[in-house]
A and B are shown apart, each in its own frame.
Chain A
Amino acid sequence: MNKKSFGNKLIACPYIVWAAIFIIVPLIIMVYFALTDANGVFTLANIASLGRYKKAFAISIVYAIIATAITLLLAYPMAYFMTKLKVSSQKMIMMIVMLPMWMNFLIRTYSWITILANTGIINTVLGKFGIGPLKLINTPGAVILGMVYDFIPYMILPIYSVMSKIDNSLLEASDDLGANAFNKFKRVIFPLSRPGVISGITMVFVPSVSTFYISQKLGGNKTMLVGDTIEYFFNLGPDYYNIASAISLILMVLIMISLFVMNRFSDDDSGGVVI
């Protein structure tokens, strides 16, 4: 028993060391910078000054919510559809879903520029019909599109994996008890797939709210998201590490709060069926 648990600890060792060096220590450094001034003296001034960036915070959160919602609306039916296919087709589609992730994130985002630009593919084609050019690039829509495109695999994967594990006999049982397709979805499939939805939302919302590259390339420099703000300050040099850290810290706290709120919902498995 003792031996076994010692072995288990040993297995976890490499990751614990990794986590300590690359996660815990940087977090401590970030908190240190956030709560000190340029001379290393404790201060709350950085945090107090963040009111100036509330617009960036607000836009980031709103964009991330919209992007997550769109991702969910696209991914959920897709995942459901996949589970209905033959196993070989499921694997095939899974590969197609994963395919963009084999390419570099930056390149994927860049390719949207060539599609959406005023001289890009869409406007060129529309131009042939005498339409446009439409203003596609450098709009909030383009930023959200970029987020949806980049993060949708993280939504499809967990939903699909939870859904494909739903025991077919449960679906037969609901048929048997008189549930038509709508009731079967509402009372069995959706509640059972909720854990996948929750982790999908987490995995899309978190990177969306803190992203900086997508907004710069597809949103022009008009929309400063929190991620862009942080990057901007870090680029200004060591004097601005304190304010950048403070923004990062607050963003992290906001993300933690939203995840906590969401997990509240997912823990609610008391079985109360919404009537």
Chain B
Amino acid sequence: MQKENIVELKDISVAFDGETVLDSLSLDIKDKEFITLLGPSGCGKTTTLRLIAGFLEPDEGDVVFEGKKINGVPAYKRQVNTIFQRYALFPHLNVYENVAFGLRIKKTPEKQIKEKVNEMLKLVNLSGFEKRSIGTLSGGQQQRVAIARAIANHPKVLLLDEPLAALDLKLRKDMQKELKKIQEQLGITFIFVTHDQEEALTMSDRVVVMDGGKIQQVGTPQDIYNEPENAFVADFIGESNIVDGIMLKDYFVEFSGAKFDCLDKGFAPNEAVDVVVRPEDVDIVPENTGMLTGVVTSVSFLGVHYEIIVDIGGFKWMIQTTDEHFVDDKVGLYIEPDAIHIMKKSKYSGLYGDYSSYSEELDLLSEPQEVEE
């Protein structure tokens, strides 16, 4: 598998009204990969997509496509197509004409258009919908038309701007699989933008975690989850307990008043670090055999597992376990060396990873409900 860069972003900076949106961002995107830009609202992920689409020009830096700089090339001349957040289907055209739009502009012969449109509608499971007007379609169907319309033009890169955000959970899961399937079938590059970390992990070959106009980490879903670079990434992807620690020496770290073996090295002796432990990697054991001890302060049953908050010296840990425990139980915690991940201190240190104020409801409420312009 030959993997060349199809899109390269070089030192891109963008500001709107003096406010920095992208801060000297560089990113290489390989041919035929499924890459996801992941981050909270306002992190610059959609702006990055618009730069590649050609709806926006960078203030500084270059956008390179197949080795050629394409700054200033208008959107309609670029070999990329976009699936818009709210689909942007043409309301005055029916399904067939929406899908045929790009082909008609290229003056494709009518017979070929017909073949292509039928092929595309079949691919997105919408055969028989040709004559339907856009207004009569459900959200999921409109989504499919948008996909068919974009890929009918044989783009080398497909840009997807939170395409699933407006769909309900069940449909979203189905579409995730379907998109992944379509990407493999067509063998083209997908650049996918989302704020949903689970979506990013399931679909992507590589994930780019962004915040504040900067890339925080690029890597495979496994890398991002298991080896987060800083507290922001650790917190944004999944649940994590992030505590202050001291790296006493290679493979040996102290936190929460105890000393632990770990698998990390390369820090200065006694360097202050952030320690990440995922809630599912902690075992609850009898108090006297634990490496750390604490008191259970809350228990919630989530079906597959319990989510338990344990107070250890004032710091609240989240632990996921299938065993039942009760509030006010005194418990011990056991952590394997490979469950401990050490990160350098960053500007995000101390901001995340404590579950003192944790409440499920709040978490749901603060989940971005989407529609970012």
Contacts and interface: CB of A to CB of B under 8 A. Distances in A.
Given A183-B105, A271-B133, A273-B104, A170 B90 contact: yes
Contact of B106 (A172, A178, A188, A271): A178
A175 B82 CA distance: 10
Interface stretch (B31-39, B73-81, B200-208, B235-243): B73-81
Interface in A158-205: 167, 169-170, 172-180, 183, 187-188, 191-192
Size class of the contact patch on chain A: 20 to 34
Nearest to A175: B75
Given A177-B102, A275-B104, A169 B84 contact: yes
A187 B77 CA distance: 17
A167 B93 contact: no
B93 A271 contact: yes
**A interface secondary structure, majority:** helix
Nearest to B159: A176
Contact of B88 (A169, A183, A269): A169
Contacts, number: 73
Size class of the contact patch on chain B: 20 to 34
Interface string B22-55: 0000000000000000000000000000000111
A173 B84 contact: yes
Contacts of A169: 84-86, 88
B92 interface: yes
B101 interface: yes
Given A175-B74, A176-B76, A271 B105 contact: no
Given A172-B55, A273-B104, A180 B92 contact: no
* Best-surrounded residue of B94, B101, B133 (most CB of chain A within 10 A): B101
* Best-surrounded residue of B89, B94, B104 (most CB of chain A within 10 A): B104
Contacts of A174: 76, 90, 101
B176 interface: no
A178 B153 contact: yes
Interface string B81-124: 11011101111111011000110111000000000000000000
A178 B92 contact: no
B133 A176 contact: no
A275 B110 CA distance: 11
Interface in A233-253: none
B149 interface: yes
A271 B92 contact: yes
A177 B81 contact: yes
Interface in A242-275: 269-271, 273, 275
Interface in A217-240: none
Contact of B76 (A170, A180, A269): A180
Contact of A175 (B55, B89, B92, B149): B55
Given A177-B101, A178-B105, A172 B92 contact: no
Contacts of A178: 76-77, 102, 105-106, 153
B82 A173 contact: yes
Contacts of B76: 174-180
Given A187-B101, A273-B97, A177 B88 contact: no
B152 to A, nearest CB: 9
B365 to A, nearest CB: 28
A178 B149 CA distance: 12
Nearest to A184: B76
* Best-surrounded residue of A167, A183, A273 (most CB of chain B within 10 A): A273
Given A174-B101, A187-B101, A187-B105, 17 more contacts: A169-B84, A170-B88, A172-B53, A172-B82, A173-B89, A174-B90, A175-B74, A176-B81, A176-B150, A177-B150, A178-B105, A270-B94, A271-B92, A271-B94, A271-B96, A271-B133, A275-B104
9 contacts: A169-B88, A176-B75, A176-B76, A177-B101, A177-B150, A178-B76, A192-B91, A271-B94, A273-B93
Interface of A: 167, 169-170, 172-180, 183, 187-188, 191-192, 269-271, 273, 275
